[in-house]
Structure 1
Amino acid sequence: MEKPFRKILVIKMRFHGDMLLTTPVISTLKQNYPDAEIDVLLYHETMPILSVNPEIHALYGIKNKKAKTTEKIANIFHLISTLRANKYDLIVNMTDQWIVSLLVRLLKAPVRISQDYSHRQSPFWRNSFTHLAALNGANVVESNLSVLAPLGLKSYVTHTTMSYNPDSWTRVRDALNSAGVDERYVVIQPTARQLFKCWNNEKFSQVIDALHDRGYEVVVTSGPGAEDLACVEAIVKGCKTAPVTALAGKLTFPELAALIDHAELFIGVDSAPGHIAAAVDTPLVCLFGATDHIFWRPWSTNMIQFWAGDYRPMPSREHRDRNEMYLSVIPAEDVIAAVDTLLGAPKAASTEGNT
């Protein structure tokens, strides 16, 4: 399909980490159509994670379930009016919400591509698009890129991108200086949206103590919610030496990216910050529970991943208990060994004269 597309709309309505995993699609479109303006339609609350991406022309946020009904209706009508005026010649859809089929019909782009979802096979959905692309790939990044197959592109960008401006790093570095953190620090984000993705607080405390023993500062980050901050406080109470928590709950996504980008190592669970670490190519240790650890793993070659399924059988998705901490079977000692692998031998193991 040889077309000089100039106005492209990418649609993806998922959570923060999912949005970061769409960046190879955006980069591939920009590489093949360098003169095109690429806009993204996404959930309003996930806009910050893509807010500094230089390949995106504009972000359009759709109100999620938390908004009032009147706000959601007003938002939809405003978006339809704005997006119609943009006169897109290509729409690339990677979301399965039913409203997308109606939206793309109203936008009337000549080329409308969607991933072919098995649960969206109604004539109305299928006929809303000019092309349906089979989902292929062992990882979500590969699956996302498969939507572009109908375009017949010769080259693809396969790395994820997390962007931040220099002033984000300046603000973070100033905060680190105020907290007494030097250049050799490790970032740990222990929190996730749901319990089944979390690890034991006391095990994070053990890992933090091991890092301090090895001469590293530890910066613990989290979201701003009360539960996240309570988790951080509980971890600190279990540590022999408290990590730095001054930035917990206070960073924007670009600032978090700057912090992780300059870290020696990132440690976290199945959540967006792990994908940020992969995007900025910081070595990482990630812990997965009753999740598809292959499909959803961070897109990195500089990583050690732990999956609870290697320690005990994991339930299928339909039998998953979201209130069970599946990661609890992963020993702290194994994670500490992975830290030593990625950072090098601990100081205690060094020969005399090289300490």
Structure 2
Amino acid sequence: MNNVYQSYQKILIIKLRFHGDMLLTTPLISTLKANYPNAKIDVLLYEDTIPILSENKDINVLHGIKRKQNSVLNTLESIFHVVVKLRKNHYDLIINLADQWLIAPLIKLTNSPKKISLNFNHRQSFLWQYCFDEIITPEGTHIVEHNLSILKSLNITVLKTKTVMDYDIQHWEEIHTQLIQLNADKKYIVIQPTARQIFKCWDNNKFAEVIDNIQSYGLNVILTSGPGKEDQQCIKAIAELCQSPPITYFAGRTTFPQLAALIDHAELFIGVDSAPMHMAAALETPLVCLFGATNHQFWRPWSDNKILIWAGNYQTVPQRSEIDRKYKYLSCIPAKDVTKAALTMLSENTKISQPVTSL
């Protein structure tokens, strides 16, 4: 049957990566829902990434699996339970965006009549190819375009390209109450200085300089981060370097929907290559983002309302295979350039007062 006439009722999308990667699958999810409005769309993902998609209205069920198991036996047992669960759902379309080798036989065992996967250079074995009905070569220069290209064999007529970060109004009410108590419910910007890996981070003293400059314009600065020990140490160190300490209350305390509400109501977001950066883009919050030794074109925020500052414009950065993951490649970016970018975005999107001190 020609796919343009096929009406899928139960669809499963598989992606096993990190929070930001999951958010970048939302245009694919939105597109499937627009073309198959009656379909139930489920997602198989790592259970720790569930919160970033938990409020998405186009998703029926999020099936979480553990990222790491204690042993091979536990891994196989976990996969067995996943297969049993998925088989019971009788998916008539499975879309695979995951490159983990165990995914292919797992999908084959679901007995779905239509199984599509993106093509991965490191997954060319006969077994991998055998487990899918179609292998699609990805197209485009951005990960969102790559994800959407898997649909080309379905003759999709409606394309949704915007990333989506949903949250319930109650999450904003909770955040707003805290902002009032902190006397920070007027104009504020959000800065997330932390990332999963050190090579994506910037220098604490430079963040502090930018914070001081921005606060001189009468704006509150709110620092956010994950709850981990290293993240908390980073937030504390930056705050201590500031002449006027920023608000650190929310660092490590928000859920993803709460963080979305906080970012959504901000005048500006500043951050490095991380999930909150992609959240800001999805929420259409103006943003300034810093990139180092990663493919900044492929992973850039999916938004036009941004200024992207790349370390490669200041010095040579290594290829992915040569990255030293303990080195801060963003250190070559001057604080004054980030301040200038922030003020440019603020002047284009909001009214700011005259600075108390000169830059």
TM-score of the alignment, normalized to the shorter chain, above 0.5:
yes
- CA shift, 1:277, in A, is 0.1
TM norm structure 2: 0.95
Moved more, 63-72 or 10-19: 63-72
- CA shift, 1:327, in A, is 0.2
Distance 1:221-1:67 versus aligned 2 partners, 3 A rule: farther
- Kindly report which structure 2 residues correspond to 1:267-286, keeping only aligned pairs within 5 A, or say none: 267-286=270-289
The Cα offsets for residues 92-149 of structure 1, whole Å up to 9 and x where unpaired, read as: 0001111111111111111111001121111111121111111111011101111111
Secondary structure class of the residue paired with 1:38: strand
1:246 paired residue number: 249
2:9 paired residue number: 6
2:93 paired residue number: 90
What code does the residue aligned with 1:113 have?
A: I
2:40 aligned residue (28, 32, 37): 37
Find out whether 1:237 has 2:237 as its counterpart. Answer: no
The Cα offsets for residues 159-216 of structure 1, whole Å up to 9 and x where unpaired, read as: 0000111111111111111111022000000001111000000011011101110110
CA distance in 2, matches of 1:15, 1:336: 29
What code does the residue aligned with 2:51 have?
A: P
Find out whether 1:208 has 2:211 as its counterpart. Answer: yes
Find out whether 1:137 has 2:140 as its counterpart. Answer: yes
Distance 1:200-1:66 versus aligned 2 partners, 3 A rule: farther
1:199 paired residue number: 202
Percent identity between matched residues is 52
Secondary structure class of the residue paired with 1:348: coil
Find out whether 1:321 has 2:327 as its counterpart. Answer: no
State the Cα RMSD in Å: 1.4
CA distance in 2, matches of 1:182, 1:207: 21
| 1:63–1:71 CA contact under 8 A, matched in 2 | no
- Kindly report which structure 2 residues correspond to 1:37-116, keeping only aligned pairs within 5 A, or say none: 37-65=40-68, 71-116=74-119
- CA shift, 1:67, in A, is 5.2
1:179 aligned residue (168, 173, 182): 182
TM norm structure 1: 0.96
What code does the residue aligned with 2:281 have?
A: A
Secondary structure class of the residue paired with 2:211: helix
- CA shift, 1:68, in A, is 5.7
| 1:6–1:35 CA contact under 8 A, matched in 2 | yes
Secondary structure class of the residue paired with 1:101: helix
| 2:79–2:106 CA contact under 8 A, matched in 1 | no
Specify every segment of 5 or more residues in structure 1 that has no aligned partner in the other structure, as ranges.
351-355
2:311 paired residue number: 308
Moved more, 33-42 or 69-78: 69-78
What code does the residue aligned with 2:188 have?
A: Y
CA distance in 2, matches of 1:346, 1:196: 33
1:123 paired residue number: 126
Find out whether 1:259 has 2:262 as its counterpart. Answer: yes
Moved more, 121-130 or 212-221: 121-130
What code does the residue aligned with 1:127 have?
A: Y
Give the paired residue count.
350
2:353 paired residue number: 347
CA distance in 2, matches of 1:300, 1:55: 21
4+ runs deviating over 4 angstroms = 66-71
- CA shift, 1:152, in A, is 1.2
